[in-house]
Structure 1
Amino acid sequence: MLQRKFDKVVKQFFPDAKDAKDTSIHFLGRMQIEHELDISRILMATSVCSDDINVPSTTFFNVLFGPFIMGGLGGLPFAGQTGMTAFAHHIPDEGSAFIFYGPHIGITLEGELGKMYRPRQEDTGNSCGALMLALDRLQDENYKPKINDDDYQQMRLEDSLLPYREQILESSNQAKAITEAAYDIINKRIHKYIAACKDEFHVNKVTLLGGIIINTDYGLDDYFDARNFEVIDLRSI
C-alpha cells in the first residue's frame, strides 16, 4: 500500500521513473537479449554519490562483478581518466564493461524533494546531502566555492554547478533542477573519459546506464529515472 502511494508521488515529478530493482532486471535482460552480452563476464563501474543510501537501490550489485567506484559526492566521476583507465584494465577476458551513473534525490510521501527518512531516524534529512548543501550555498549570489584539500569534492561539485546556477535558481523546483544539472555534468564527463581512454580497453563494448536515483523511505524500493542506455562500440569512437 505504502509503495503504491510513493509510486504516485514519485511520478508527479519523474513520470518515467520505475522501481529501481525492476529497472535493473529490465536492463540486464536487454544487455543479454538485445546485445548478446555475457552477464557472467561484465564488470560494473558506478559513478553515483558515495551516500550509503544508494547501495541497496538496484540488483546490479548482486549480479555483476564489481563495482569499481568512480563516483564521489553528488555522483561526479572524481576518479577521472586514471580511474577509467584502471576500470578498463580490470575487465574480464572476452567480457564487457557496464557503467551505472547519475545523481540521487530523496522524496517524502508528502512530495518534498531533496528530503527523505533515513534508517532509524525520526526526522527527515537531505538527499542528496551534497547537492542540497550546494543549492543552499548557490542561493547566495555572492558565494563562490574555494577549492581546497580539506573539502575538495564538495568544492569541485559546487564549482561544476556554477554554469547552471541561473537555470537552477529560476526553476520552480530548485532541488529537482540541481539534480538534473548534476546528471548533465556526470553524463558528459563519463562520455568524455571513455573517449579519452578508449585505447585502454581490451574489449569492444561499453554499456552505459545513466539516470536519477530517487530515494524513498527506509524499507521501500527506490526508483530510477533512466535517461540514457547505450552500448558503445569503442571501435567507432
Structure 2
Amino acid sequence: MLQRKFDQVVKQHYPNAKDAKDTSIHYLGKMQNEHKLDISKVLMATSVCSDDINIPSTTFFNVLFGPFIMGGLGGIPFVGQTGMTAFAHHIPDEGSAFIFYGPHIGVTLDGDLGKMYRPRQEETGNSCGALMLALSRLQDSHYQPVLNENDYQQMKLEESLLPYREDIINSDNPQKAITEATYDIIDKKIHEYVKTCKNEFPVDKVALLGGIIINTDYGLDDYFDAKNFEIVDLKSL
C-alpha cells in the first residue's frame, strides 16, 4: 500500500520513472537480447553519489561484475580519465563494459523533493545532501566556491554548477532543477571520458545508462528516471 502511494507521488514529479529493480531487469534484458552482450562477462562502473542510500537502488550490483566506482559527491565522476582508463583495463577477456550514472534525489510521501527518511532516523534528511548543501549556498548571490584540499569534491561540484545557477534558483522547484543540472554535468563528463579514453578499451562498444535515482523510504523500492540508454560504438568516436 505504501509503495503504491509513493508510486503516485514519484510520478507527479517524474512521470516516466520506474521501479529501480524493474529498471535493472529491463536494461539487462536489452543488453543481452537486443545487443547480444554476454551478461556473465560485463564489468559495471557507476558514477552515482557516494551516499550509502544508493547502494540497494538497483539489482545491477547483484548480477554484474564490479562495480568500479567513478562517482563521488553528487555523482560527479571524479576519477577522471585515469579512472576511466583503469576501468577499461579491468574488463574481462571477451567481455563488455557498462556504465550506470546519474545523481539522486529524495522524496517524501508529502511530495517534498530533496528530503527523505533515512534508516532509523525519525526526522527527514537531505537527499542528495551534497546537492541540497550546494543549493543553499548558490541561493546566496555573493557566494563563490573556493577550492581547498579539505573539501575538494563539494567545492568542485559547486563550481561545476555555477553556469546553471540562475536557472536553478529561478526554477519553480530548485531541488529538482539542481538535480537535473547535475545529471547534465555527469552525462557530459562520462561521454567525454569514454571518448578520450576509447583506445584503452579492449572492446568495441560500451553500454551507458544514465538517469536520476529517486530515493523513497527505507525498506521501499527506489525509482529511476532513465534519460539515456545507448551502446556507444568506440570505433565511430
TM-score of the alignment, normalized to the shorter chain, above 0.5: yes
Offset of 1:233 from its aligned partner? 1.1
Moved runs in structure 1, 4+ residues, more than 3 A?
none
Who is 2:123 aligned against?
123
Who is 2:102 aligned against?
102
Who is 1:21 aligned against?
21
Per-residue CA deviations over 1:179-235 (Å, capped at 9, x if unaligned) read 000000000000000000000001111000000000000000000000000001111
Measured in 2, the distance between the counterparts of 1:76 and 1:154 equals 10
Measured in 2, the distance between the counterparts of 1:87 and 1:7 equals 35
Measured in 1, the distance between the counterparts of 2:232 and 2:75 equals 21
Query: Identity rate of aligned residues, in percent?
Result: 79
Q: Give the TM-score normalised by the residue count of structure 2.
A: 1.00
Per-residue CA deviations over 1:101-144 (Å, capped at 9, x if unaligned) read 00000000000000000000000000000000000000000000
Measured in 2, the distance between the counterparts of 1:192 and 1:67 equals 20
User: What amino acid is aligned across from residue 109 of structure 1 in structure 2?
Assistant: L
Who is 1:60 aligned against?
60
Who is 2:140 aligned against?
140
Who is 2:78 aligned against?
78
Please provide the CA RMSD for this pair: 0.3
Per-residue CA deviations over 1:7-60 (Å, capped at 9, x if unaligned) read 000000000000000000000000000000000000000000000000000000
Per-residue CA deviations over 1:147-188 (Å, capped at 9, x if unaligned) read 000000000000000000000011000000000000000000
Which runs of 5 or more structure 2 residues have no equivalent in the other structure? none
Which runs of 5 or more structure 1 residues have no equivalent in the other structure? none
Q: Give the TM-score normalised by the residue count of structure 1.
A: 1.00
Who is 1:235 aligned against?
235
Measured in 2, the distance between the counterparts of 1:183 and 1:21 equals 20
Who is 2:209 aligned against?
209
Measured in 1, the distance between the counterparts of 2:125 and 2:231 equals 36
